[in-house]
Structure 1
């Protein structure tokens, strides 16, 4: 039998040359393109917030290196009653914060707030110019036209009478339309309602703590004391949410539904207008109008301006009194004057949310932290402190024993405009926690100024929650 000759390798390659070329040429082209792409794109593909707050990617990320990530910026102004603040945030495609320089946000502030310009709307708008310039400078020039700038005015503007608030908002809209290089729409300048402010604050703190996406019982509750209003927000069970009282016409709903990090939350939130720290001063002074006030440090005789009104602010000859001032604070809170039509109420006949696991761990922010630091019972250099409501009472007792002259040396970091009210402010904060929100005097609460996020500290303020909420719908 004749043996067949074995085919050589070169003959096999020649015979299957068409198939080999069909496979190898595309592979070579793909390899060549992958080699060139990082050089062409420099690895950075940009995203931006589009209309309505949705994040829109304009390309893909080619490298797993953290230097090459999708970026989006957001600029948010917090126009509060005590001052104006600007926050600039940078996110990656997973809604994680990216550094802006050495920090995870740009934060700048100035005083006074927009409400101080009630009779001069143009001056109110122009007061934001220095903040706007700083915000624009940290946003890459090529992204400025894609980066939204939004202004959320809070209780200070809500408290203005007549059309003063509308005129200021229109002046701010005109100012940003003319001066800003950022993406701007007229309806992005608005008066934030109190429940939005409280909800955004809750989102901010729980986001920074890494709680979003976990069960509601693993989140923390928030009390945020601003100048014109105070907000309480905490997550409740679906069962308790179903039993919440129905809001009457013109009132905000007690429960907000949020979908964050793949989980649905039922958020109890309520904002108490006129019960922020600066507004409460006016209420306490108003309750004893025409006479000396036992909440004012001895030796002070002057007036207090708030919301376009002026109130007499003079101390009795005997100086301030803890007991008498506490009575005035209770009167201002109307704790004993309001009827409760629900099963459980805070002050003013407001439903308290029913309590539960979402409220057991409370983070208390803004003026609570500031006054505690100034009174000396927390370290102002530390962003978080564990305290009890009784600490505010103890600090108030010490403050009320001082004259204005002695207080200057006792509280060197307190400005002259705030110093006469140290007794009043601390008593009001204690009364708000104990008689207003019915906390146990010995319950441990967390005072918070900033929250550690990875290796950085981030301001515990509602604008971050606003940006996260907007980006979460994408």
Structure 2
């Protein structure tokens, strides 16, 4: 028998070409679609976290945030990877620089206010790779200092800053990124910052920490509350804001109680205490000091009475300044000034207290200024206040050598106010443990416990 001729490969391909086309066509189409997808796209992972796509082949992205506070201007530069984790900039996890005075000190010269940011801008741009500068957002968040100036004056300064960044900066600028933060934004960003650094985001609200941030012009409180408490939140009288902000973070929905108290930051509170009445306010001033206190364009008499400062009388003045008895809360417990306290709960049990609380504690000597975080109790502020009040200026200088000359006349007042704010304002127990925080350790590095990181996370998530 003759052996059948073996079919060649080309002959087989011709015979099966229909089958081959059916198999290859879908593969080709899928490959073509993937080729067309932009590489800089933003997506959300299965857990609700934001994934940043590569842009121009880079796996890192930067954000520059200016904190334009009442006591000074500060710039923060952050670097993020694709998973929105903070990455080192040199040997540190962020660039942080600051200078005084703040923008509100230039109320009569908006251009000079804007130009005061030049050295900070140059520092920030120097750490951003040149090829990424036009992709790097720069935001300016002004806080209580500009809020207190009024809309007309603050808008002139903000416009001058917008023009300054447009002309002088190589970074990505949008007009809406230069604004006055309302207090609730500031408080919410601070809460996000600290809980992000502690690794709490994505956990239940009971596993997060509450935050009190004492700035120069305002003080913010923020903590996560239960959904049932959020549903019972009252409406703020002016109708312009709410007590509760819903946030979606790391696949978890949080109901954030947040409120900002304008005029109750540490520097503003000095003016409020001195306004209560001349005698009571002066009772906080150490013997030997004769002068005046300037805040937000106003000047207040701040000369000591002949007996010097008095802890008890200063406490009375501080309590009156908080207006804890008016207006009263009609149906829910309040903090002070008729403000709802959020209902308390697990999200408030662990309280992190930042900014001027840490600074005064370090200057008063009951916190090591070299440590980034410390456990204290409100009673520690009371004890320090009792040591400071009653001293004349010379004695106070010897007893508290860490306090600068500009703050020394107000040390008794500041410590009394901080204790009064915690106990009579926010309703804490004097023996309750709280955490004073200046920086938080994140991946064996220290990061400033300030709202700009929360703002950076927001802008990077939306870019």
| 1:207 corresponds to which of 196, 200, 204 | 196
User: Are positions 1:281 and 2:270 aligned together?
Assistant: yes
What is aligned with 2:441? 452
Question: 2:278 is paired with a residue of what secondary structure?
Answer: coil
- 2:213 and 2:39 mapped to 1: Cα distance? 35
Match of 1:362 in 2: 351
3-state SS of paired residue (1:469): helix
* 1:319 is the counterpart of 2:308: yes
Structure 1 unmatched runs, 5+ = 6-10, 24-44, 62-68
Give the alignment partner of residue 67 of structure 2, picking from 72, 78, 85. Answer: 78
**Native 8 Å contact 1:290 1:312 kept in 2:** no
Distance 1:256 1:291 in 2: 39
Q: Say what the alpha-carbon RMSD is for the aligned residues.
A: 2.5
Q: Does 1:335 align with 2:324?
A: yes
The answer on whether the counterparts of 2:326 and 2:338 sit within 8 Å (CA) in structure 1 is: no
Encode CA deviations 1:289-343: one digit per residue, 9 max, x unaligned. 3787010111111111101101111111111000000000001101123211231
In structure 1, the partner of 2:53 is: 57
Give the deviation of 1:168 after TM superposition: 1.0
- Relative to structure 1, the CA distance from residue 121 to residue 59 in structure 2 (aligned partners, 3 Å threshold; closer, same or farther) is closer
Kindly report which structure 2 residues correspond to 1:350-389, keeping only aligned pairs within 5 A, or say none.
350-389=339-378
How many angstroms apart in 1 are the aligned matches of 2:255 and 2:460? 19
Q: Deviations over 1:344-394 (max 9, x none)?
A: 111001000000000000000000000000000011111000000000000
Equivalence for 2:124: 135
Are the aligned partners of 2:54 and 2:82 in contact in 1 as well (CA < 8 Å)? no
TM-score by length of 1: 0.87
- C-alpha distance after superposition, 1:126-172 (max 9, x if no partner): 11110000000000001101111110000010011462111111111
Greater alpha carbon shift after TM alignment, 330-339 vs 303-312: 330-339
| Deviation (angstroms), 1:48 | 10
Aligned residue number for residue 223 of structure 2:
234
CA distance in 1, matches of 2:310, 2:77: 44
Unaligned runs of 5+ in 2: 14-19, 21-37, 43-49
2:286/2:389 contact within 8 Å kept: yes
TM-score by length of 2: 0.89
Q: Is the 8 A contact 1:260 1:472 kept in 2?
A: no
**Correspondence 1:27-176 to 2 at 5 A:** 57-58=53-54, 70-161=59-150, 163-176=152-165
For 2:172, the equivalent position in structure 1 comes to 183
Using the alignment, how far apart are the partners of 2:358 and 2:406 within structure 1?
Answer: 18
Contact 1:342 1:351 in 2 (8 A): no
**Structure 1 residue 88: Cα displacement:** 0.4
Q: How does 1:287-306 map to 2 (within 5 A)?
A: 287-289=276-278, 293-306=282-295
Bigger CA drift: 200-209 or 250-259? Answer: 250-259
Q: Is the 8 A contact 2:291 2:301 kept in 1?
A: yes
- In terms of mean alpha carbon deviation, does 161-170 or 461-470 score higher? 161-170
CA contact (8 A) 2:315 2:416 kept: yes
Taking structure 1 as reference, are residues 447 and 46 closer, same or farther at Cα in structure 2, changes over 3 Å only?
farther
| Aligned partner of residue 467 in structure 1, secondary structure | helix
Q: Deviations over 1:259-304 (max 9, x none)?
A: 0111110000000000000000000111123787010111111111
Query: Does the 8 Å contact 1:80/1:153 carry over to 2?
Result: yes
- Structure 1 residue 472: deviation in Å? 3.5
How far apart are the structure 1 equivalents of 2:11 and 2:375?
Answer: 76
How far the C-alpha of 1:412 sits from its partner, in A, is: 2.2
Seen in structure 2, the aligned counterparts of structure 1 residues 447 and 291 have a Cα distance that, compared at 3 Å, is: closer
Question: How far apart are the structure 1 equivalents of 2:305 and 2:368?
Answer: 32
Task: Tell me what 1:421 maps to.
Answer: 410
Say if 1:298 and 1:319, in contact at 8 Å, map to a contact too.
yes
Structure 2 partner of 1:26: none
After TM superposition, list the pairs within 5 Å mapping 1:214-293 onto structure 2.
Answer: 214-289=203-278, 293=282
Q: CA deviation at 1:470?
A: 2.8
Closer, same or farther: CA 340–291 of 1 in aligned 2, 3 Å: closer
Q: What is the DSSP-based 3-state SS (H/G/I as helix, E as strand, rest coil) of the residue aligned with 1:81?
A: coil
